[in-house]
C-alpha cells in the first residue's frame, strides 16, 4: 500500500508539472518531465524488484541505455512517417519504406531488448529478471489509470 501511495503522489506531482507547462512545452520542460518520469520509474522498479544499491547502479545504467535506444528508434520512425505523409510528392518506394519501418518497429525494439537481456542477467537474479517485465507492465498500467482519473476529474469538456 505504501508503494502505491508513493507512486500516486509522484504521478500527481508529475502531472501537475506537465499540466502547468505551456500547451507546447519547450525542450527544457519536456526534458525535465522525462527526467522526473525516469526517476519515478527507477523508484518503482527498485521497489518492485527489491534491488540492492549495487544492483541499482549497474542495472539502471544498462536499462536507461536500452530505453534511450528504443526511444530514439521510435522517434526516428515517427519522424520518417510524418515526413513521408507530409510530402504529397512522396514516391511509392518512400511510402513503402516508411510503412515497413513502422510495421517492423516492434521487431527492432525486441532485438534491442534481447541484446540487453544478457546485461541484465549479469546484474539481476532469475526471479528479478522474470519480475522485470511484469513490473514494467504494472508501471505502465498505473500510469494509464492515473491519466484516466485525471481526465475524468477534469471533465469531458477539456481536451487532452
Q: CA–CA separation, 40 vs 51, rounded Å?
A: 15
Confidence of residue 156 (pLDDT cuts 50, 70, 90): low
Q: CA–CA separation, 52 vs 22, rounded Å?
A: 39
Q: CA–CA separation, 58 vs 64, rounded Å?
A: 10
pLDDT in tens, 57-103: 999 999 999 999 999 999 999 999 999 999 999 999 999 999 999 99
Which sign does the torsion angle of CA 105, 142, 41, 155 carry? Answer: positive
Q: CA–CA separation, 10 vs 2, rounded Å?
A: 12
pLDDT of residue 22: 44
pLDDT of residue 18: 44
- Which residue, among 104, 142, 156, has the nearest Cα to 14 in the 3D structure? 142
Amino acid at each position: 500500500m505504501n508503494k502505491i501511495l508513493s507512486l500516486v503522489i509522484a504521478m500527481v506531482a508529475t502531472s501537475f508539472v506537465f499540466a502547468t507547462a505551456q500547451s507546447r512545452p519547450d525542450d527544457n520542460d519536456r526534458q525535465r518531465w522525462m527526467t522526473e518520469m525516469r526517476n519515478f520509474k527507477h523508484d518503482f522498479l527498485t521497489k518492485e524488484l527489491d534491488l540492492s544499491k549495487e544492483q541499482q547502479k549497474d542495472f539502471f545504467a544498462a536499462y536507461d541505455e536500452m530505453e534511450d535506444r528504443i526511444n530514439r528508434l521510435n522517434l526516428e520512425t515517427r519522424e520518417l512517417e510524418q515526413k513521408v505523409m507530409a510530402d504529397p510528392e512522396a514516391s511509392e518506394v518512400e511510402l513503402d519504406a516508411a510503412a515497413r519501418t513502422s510495421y517492423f518497429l516492434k521487431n527492432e525494439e525486441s532485438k534491442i531488448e534481447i541484446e540487453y537481456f544478457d546485461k541484465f542477467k549479469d546484474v539481476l537474479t532469475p526471479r528479478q529478471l522474470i519480475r522485470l517485465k511484469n513490473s514494467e507492465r504494472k508501471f505502465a498500467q498505473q500510469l494509464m489509470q492515473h491519466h484516466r482519473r485525471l481526465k475524468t476529474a477534469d471533465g469531458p469538456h477539456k481536451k487532452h
